[in-house]
Amino acid sequence: MYGHAAQIPEGWTAVSALNSILEAYGDLERRVQQRITRRWGGVCAHCATSCCRVDICEEALESVFLCRVREHFDQPGDFDPRFGWLGPGGCRLEVGRPPVCYAFFCDEIRNSLTPEAREQLDRLGSIMDRVGRVGPRGLHLVELTDPGDLEEINLDRFLSYADRARRALHGAGP
Ligand code: SF4
């Protein structure tokens, strides 16, 4: 029941609270992704190697929260055992990727930056990780494997983290 029943705003049900979390999470993920793609997509497009790995893709299968995010946003469900979510044009998931997919930047990108810009990049890349630290028993949303845990997400903390993240995205960044 979302941490404590009292945390659900008046008139909301557990379902509407979860839907609200899914909406806000997906919206934030899209914004983070757009920011990274706009700035660094060109480097990745010309790179001969891929940072993606099936074992990372699998994190998105194992987390009941990320599964719900993908369902909510009608994402592809056909996980490929060899390539995971990776397709010819890159990742096939618009949302519901593991947070680490936004946190890793290769040496080519990192070494091209000033220390200050690297710090900004790390802050941007860690947004989806930070916002997900709201599961029950200290678990991250990515670590939730029991569907019952979805009702124990700390709604207040999530909304506060998401709001802070949105403001950070509006601020200076790479
Ligand atoms: S970006 Fe997509 S394809 Fe790449 S590791 Fe993450 S989930 Fe897998």
Locate the domains of the chain by residue range.
9-170
**Cα(43)–Cα(132) distance, rounded to whole angstroms?**
28
pLDDT of amino acid 4: 45
Place of tokens 């506060």: 160
The string of pLDDT tens digits covering residues 8-19 is 566 567 778 899
**Cα(161)–Cα(164) distance, rounded to whole angstroms?**
5
**Mean pLDDT, 10 residues at a time, the chain of 174 residues:** 52 78 96 90 83 95 96 95 92 96 92 90 93 96 94 92 89 56
**Cα(125)–Cα(119) distance, rounded to whole angstroms?**
10
pLDDT of amino acid 6: 42
pLDDT of amino acid 165: 92
pLDDT of amino acid 78: 93
**Cα(40)–Cα(78) distance, rounded to whole angstroms?**
27
Ligand 1 is surrounded, with C-beta below 6 A, by 52-53, 56-57, 60, 84-86, 91, 93, 97-98, 101
